[in-house]
């Protein structure tokens, strides 16, 4: 599951708007919003483009796009 907060924070730090990200992926801003909000999945090719554009390490990429803790209830 995508960690939206981490993705948005990296976009802010790198000064890249969602519109710019959508353009670089070759998709509409609405399509990007669907992906960010989990309505449609990111393609592997899109994740790799984002990793390159944002200059993310593999660990940073995985923390954003494959964060299995997101949406889970904390255990007691």
* pLDDT of amino acid 67: 80
| Most distant pair of Cα atoms in the chain: their distance | 43
Cα-based distances in Å from 11 to 22, 72, 76: 12, 24, 33
CA 75: distance to chain centroid?
26
Low-confidence stretches of the chain (pLDDT beneath 50): 74-75
Q: Where are the domains of the chain?
A: 4-64
- pLDDT score of 42: 96
Q: In the block, which residue shows the tokens 């802010």?
A: 12
In words, the CATH class of domain 4-64 is: mainly alpha
* 8-state DSSP, 37: T
Instruction: Give the per-residue pLDDT at 69.
Output: 66
| Euclidean distance between CA atoms 76 and 74, whole angstroms | 7
Q: What is the pLDDT of residue 1?
A: 83
């Amino acid at each position: 599951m995508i960690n939206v907060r981490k993705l948005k924070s990296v976009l802010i730090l790198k000064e890249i708007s969602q519109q710019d990200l959508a353009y670089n992926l070759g998709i509409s801003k609405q399509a990007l919003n669907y992906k960010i909000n989990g309505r449609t999945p990111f393609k592997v090719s899109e994740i790799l483009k984002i990793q390159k554009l944002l200059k993310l390490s593999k660990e940073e990429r995985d923390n954003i796009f494959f964060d299995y803790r997101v949406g889970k209830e904390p255990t007691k």
